[in-house]
Structure 1
Amino acid sequence: MTDNASLVARDLAALWHPCTQMKDHEWLPLVPVKRGEGVWLEDFDGNRYIDAVSSWWVNLFGHANPRINAALRDQMDKLEHVILAGFSHEPAVALAEKLIEVTPPKLERCFYADNGSSAVEVAVKMSFHYWRNVGRGEKKRFITLANSYHGETLGALAVGNVALYKETYGPLLMETITAPSPDCFEREDGESWEAFSRRQFEPMRDLLQRHHEEVSAVIVEPLVQCAGGMRMYHPVYLKLLREACDQFDVHLIADEIAVGFGRTGTLFACEQADISPDFMCLSKGLTAGYLPLSAVMTTDRVYQAFYDDYENLTAFLHSHSYTGNPLACRVALETLQIFEDDDVIARNRVLANHAARAFAPLADHPHIREVRQHGMILAAEMMQDPATRKPFPWKERRGLTVYRHGLENDVLLRPLGHVVYFMPPYVINEEQIDHVAQIALEGVDLATKQE
């Protein structure tokens, strides 16, 4: 009979885990999961954990969701996969139609890929290739934000700005232009989010003015830089950026992979600025955490630049074996149907308000600089001296104390460095939110009392 210890032993003899220094597991136990149900994960020894991070931000409607399970079983009996070059199928078409309906205006074409990083690769290549097709081949550079993250394939890494990745893989990456982040954590005392985001836009405008002749696109994570520590900014920045991209004839790529599908309080974060990007990258919540799938939404203007006679060699060059997988597309369709049937966005507003109240005591903690929130994403920043913004030394890994305390008390919290965050499945209830908030507060207490 399998138990935690036996599966962990087998795991460590065979697997190499992502974003992990494997030597840590000489002292930091793996958690082998046997099953999931709703917000709960259960290991082989019967311990249960509230999945307060949605299993890397993908799960929307709980584990083993009955509706999604039924849709997946139904599709499995019809078609599991078929090549999407020269062939088509109902789930891929229906999902593309639905995404065109629910995404911001002018996004009228859907291109499928396998995961978030691949979607970013598609958007970057498609933007560059568009300018090449219309005779503007000099427009081949990209502007990105400081502290940004867009995935871990080489193109996605290049347009991100995570120092560790850039230092490690820099020789393999194309050179990009970096603008200061609108991250409102850096605002002056008494300065509003909107005022700071407006102020931070000026360097971006200056870069666009100086480099627009050679710039293909600006890529941003709307409202929340998730992997960068759940740093947040005001929607006005997106509005100003859309206006400037139009003025200087530069594409805008909105990476909504982590923030899309209700995470920030609206179905898509761009809605809060009332803008439409030229490219929108979608993944993670697209299939509610069930299967790998991503989509790049773009405009008919972009599409028409590739629509040509074969001999002109203007076709877009990108493919994956599992492009538009029928199982994943069918799951995504059911996910979007749940949003409509259950009025998820309205319920999320109630849950987000409850979370704000439940986590409010963290703001008074002597080692918390800030508690910030956009919808169903809430984060608290631990600091050695919040008044002077002096951080804890990164090597102390104090977030691990919060993580381990959570596991001991039925909660999966996985801080980003010293940032404790809450991004749960939407099926969580108020009592469960209260429990997570209490355990987070206790964990911060333990983490900041370390000698």
Structure 2
Amino acid sequence: MTDAIAPLSSPLAVDSEVTQHIQAIVARVQRAQQALTGARAADPALKDSFAAAMKRTAAVRGRGPIMPYLGTGLGNGPLVELLDGSVKWDMLNGIGVHMFGHSDPRMTAAALRAGLSDLCMQGNLTSNQDSVAFAEFLVAEAKRNSRMEHCFVSNSGCMVNEAALKVCMQKTGGAPRILAFQDCFMGRSITMSQIGDTAAYRQGLP
């Protein structure tokens, strides 16, 4: 673990015994990944159990998924394994940490270290050193090409957009117009759905 990474985790994350266990888990995941080398057809023996899982998903959500996609949680770079035994190429370009590839060993290790930090809430009321160190890192990177001085860590891009809109309104005295690009996606909150160019997200909204 480098000095740059160490402050981002709890003291346990730099414990030698914990580090050995994390390395063992990552190694086990990598061994499992070796079976995912390319696209693979569904296993006929899993057809009924997969159908039951899809039905269960639709029941709890109120509607079924857009695509028959329920992953096992294991992947290998651009490859993902589904509950029906099939392996698919991820052509959705990934979201979030999946831009590093599915089951990326670095992300797996980071997630395990993050799990040692017991405070989930990182906001204005409570926070761990993790969010402070992460904010410092982001500010240092951003200052290379900007005048950014501060950072408040948020849990989603949508909430960042909401906060940015508040700052813009305060700065401009509440300017009545917002310019947005055609086909843009801003988020699914009430405000962001009004700005984004996706009519489906505005159905039933005032």
Asked if TM exceeds 0.5, the reply is yes
**C-alpha contact 1:32 1:43 (8 A) present in aligned 2:** yes
Match of 1:5 in 2: 51
Q: Equivalent residue of 2:175, what SS?
A: coil
- Point out which structure has higher relative CO (alpha carbons under 8 A, 6+ apart): 1
3-state SS of paired residue (1:8): helix
Is 1:124 aligned with 2:160?
no
CA RMSD, aligned part only?
Answer: 2.9
Does residue 109 in structure 1 map to residue 150 in structure 2?
A: yes
- Alignment map for 1:5-404 (pairs within 5 Å): 5-16=51-62, 22=64, 30-38=68-76, 39-56=78-95, 59-82=98-121, 84-103=123-142, 104-131=145-172, 137-165=173-201, 168-169=203-204, 172=206
Deviations 1:87-135 (A, max 9, x none): 442211111111112233112211222222222111111211234xxxx
Deviation at residue 138 of structure 1 after TM alignment: 5.0
The alpha-carbon distance between structure 1 residues 138 and 150, as it changes in their structure 2 partners (threshold 3 A), is closer
Aligned-partner Cα distance in 2 for 1:74–1:138: 43
The structure where strand makes up a greater share of residues is 1
Question: Moved runs in structure 1, 4+ residues, more than 6 A?
Answer: none
**TM-score, normalization: structure 1?**
0.31
Cα distance change of structure 1 residues 75 and 96 upon mapping to structure 2, 3 Å threshold: same
Distance 1:74 1:149, change over 3 A: closer
Aligned residue for 1:52, secondary structure, equals coil
Instruction: Describe the superposition over 1:266-322 as per-residue Cα deviations: whole angstroms up to 9, x where unpaired.
Output: xxxxxxxxxxxxxxxxxxxxxxxxxxxxxxxxxxxxxxxxxxxxxxxxxxxxxxxxx
Q: TM-score, normalised by structure 2?
A: 0.63
Identity %: 22
Q: Which runs of 5+ in 1 are unaligned?
A: 132-136, 173-451
Does the Cα contact within 8 Å between 1:4 and 1:43 map onto a contact in 2? no
Q: By how many angstroms is 1:147 displaced?
A: 2.9
Judged with a 3 Å threshold, the aligned counterparts in structure 2 of structure 1 residues 91 and 83 are, in CA distance, closer, same or farther, namely closer
